[in-house]
Amino acid sequence: MREIRFVSTNTEKFREAAAILRPHGIRLRWVRREIPEPQAWTLEEVVKAKLDAVQDLPGPVLVEDSGLFIPSLKGFPGVYSKHFFKLWGFPPLLELLRRRGRHAYFKTVAGLRLGRRRVYFSGVVQGTIARRPRGRGGFGYDPLFIPRGHSRSFAELSSEEKNGLSHRARALRKLGRHEKEALQVEVTRDEMSLDVA
């Protein structure tokens, strides 16, 4: 198993990320650290800044940032999802959406630092905002988000069901495949140098 440090203060995120990456032969080691988020327009910028802030940690390091984007609100709360949720919770969002389109998507950007190299992966899941919070599972905006093709919210799905289709799973599965291919290249290189020797 390959070990990667995952920096976050969010227990649920860590649990989800660890379960998603385990089948890819990656074991996440949780570094519970608050990283100040810069004011930025995109998740990509936030993730780059987060990677800058964890340069002191040894070995491969993974950070991620996620947001709920609502096109009828010009993408709001988007990169501000965390602050908005902390300050206001669901009510103003439901109020704003009373006469607007309810299409929404979740997006995750994951950034992995491997020595001096950095690689980024993104994942998106489309859906709609429920008329009222539904379900007790998950975290954050999960009770409001109904993924496309489903009738239940993320908070009404089991963690396995959510991890089967979530934004986080889509980004991290790309990372898992990337790491597997990188490992295969390393093994092939080793075999080649054995052949040459």
Nearer to ligand IMP, 128 or 166 (CB): 166
Determine contact, residues 92/102, Cβ cutoff 8 Å.
Answer: no
Nearest in space to 177 (alpha carbons), one of 125, 119, 108, 124: 119
Q: Which residue stretch of 28-36, 93-101, 133-141, 182-190 sits at the interface with ligand IMP (rule: CB under 6 A)?
A: 133-141
Near ligand IMP by CB under 6 A: residue from 61, 66, 105, 170: 66
User: In angstroms, what is the minimal distance from the CB of 148 to ligand IMP?
Assistant: 15
Sign of CA dihedral 10, 16, 17, 19: positive
- Site for ligand IMP contains 141 (CB under 6 A): yes
Determine the residue type at 51: L
- Site for ligand IMP contains 82 (CB under 6 A): yes
Is 65 annotated in the active site? yes
- Site for ligand IMP contains 122 (CB under 6 A): no
Determine contact, residues 129/70, Cβ cutoff 8 Å.
Answer: yes
Parallel, antiparallel or unpaired: strands 117-129 and 103-114: antiparallel
List contacts with ligand IMP (CB under 6 A): 10, 65-68, 81-82, 85, 138-142, 154, 166, 168
